[in-house]
Every structure is written in C-alpha cells, then in structure tokens.
Amino acid sequence: MMPNLSVLILTVLCMIVMLAKAALEVIGSSFGHSGTNAICVALNTLGYKTYHMKEILENRLTAHVETWHKLLKNGCDDKVASKALYKDLEYTAAVDFPTSACWEALMWVYPMAKIVHTQHKSGEDWYALASDSIISLVQKFPFNIFKHIDPYFICFTKMCDQLWGQIMKRPMEASLDPRFPHAYKDEIIAAYHTNN
C-alpha cells in the first residue's frame, strides 16, 4: 500500500525543518582524554564548529561554566539551557567534558545528531593518562591558587565538582578533597567502563 503523497511530502518537509533547526549535529560521548582533541580537530577540518572543554578554558566562557554547573547539578535535564550553550556561539559539534557527561540527555535534545565515541584499550590506561592531567586539573598549580581568588576559576571549580558528581552518580567535592582522584581510582575507572 502506497502512503498518501501529502503525508510523504509533509514527512520530508518536517525532516528538513528538523535538520535546519538541529544546531548540534555531532555529540561526543567519550570521557575527556580519550582522543577527544583529535576528534575535535577532525570535526573542525570537516567544517564543523566544535565545542570542547578547551573552548571553555581558553575563552573564559563564564556564562557557559555557570550553565554547566546548574545542568550537571540537575542531571543535565534542562533542554533550553542545553540548547543555549551550543546555539550561543553556533557550535555544530560537541566533544569532551562537560558535554560527554550529558551525552544521553543531549540525544533527546538533538535527536538527529550523530553520536561519536572513542576509548582507550582499558579504563586503567585511560586513568593513567587522565589522573595527572584533566582529572586533577583544579588541584594543580596554578589552578589550585586561581580557584580561591579568581571569580572565573571559582565557578569553573564548582562546575568540575558537579561534573565528577554527575559521572560518579553521587555528590562530589573533588576540588576540596586532597585524596582526589587517587583515593577514588576504582570508582572513576568503573564510571569510565560504564560510559563505554
């Protein structure tokens, strides 16, 4: 049985409109330090404008940090705030943290987006690389000083605490815990495996 031509035309038009309104076309589900920078470079080479944690840091996107803090605190459920983050500066792809902490919620916000995932051979390999860099960023010089005196980094630190809370599925104040990340190694690796 052939579908009604008007229904078919309406369906195609709806799909075109949805594509035109879907600002975010690619969502990275990978934890930071899992090849996300290489994916970012590749996507930019293909013509996408890609959102990455380095964008937040290098451009001191305070409003984004504040929005991410609220989003992560509330389980990434605010669709309007999620869209505003990417629409704001016309991003068409997003990889790395904090996006990857909310990738499942973002699938519902951008149902036409493609999901891209990369990973290390093992969670232990990933942890070995990430634990002394991105995981402990706010505890290393100069961030360990900035997080107490610079309003941007104070907010950034709160966002990072919410990020780890979202990833580990419980409240975290990683920036205040001198044992972080090493005392939580098994839990962090388990979260990495769960995401993969």
pLDDT digit string, tens, across residues 10-22: 343 334 334 444 4
- When mean pLDDT is compared across 14-18, 129-133, 146-150, 163-167, the lowest value belongs to 14-18
Backbone angles phi, psi at 14, to 5 degrees: -60, -40
Q: Which residue, among 40, 152, 137, 148, has the nearest Cα to 96 in the 3D structure?
A: 40
Q: In the predicted model, is pLDDT for residue 163 greater than 80?
A: yes
Helix (H) or strand (E) run with residue 14 in it: helix 5-21
Classify the C-alpha dihedral 101-107-108-109 as positive or negative.
Answer: positive
| pLDDT, tens only, 149-161 | 999 999 999 999 9
Q: How long a stretch of residues is the chain? A: 196
The model's pTM = 0.86
Assess contact for 133 and 33: CB atoms under 8 A.
yes
Q: How far apart are CA 51 and CA 64, in angstroms?
A: 11
How high is the mean pLDDT of the chain?
89
SS3 at position 41: helix
Q: In the predicted model, is pLDDT for residue 182 greater than 50?
A: yes
Residues of 51-60 as b/e, b for ≥16 C-beta within 10 angstroms? bbbebbeeee
Helix (H) or strand (E) run with residue 114 in it: strand 114-116
Q: 26-28 and 93-94: which strand pairing? A: parallel
Which amino acid, 8? L
Mean pLDDT of 108-134: 95
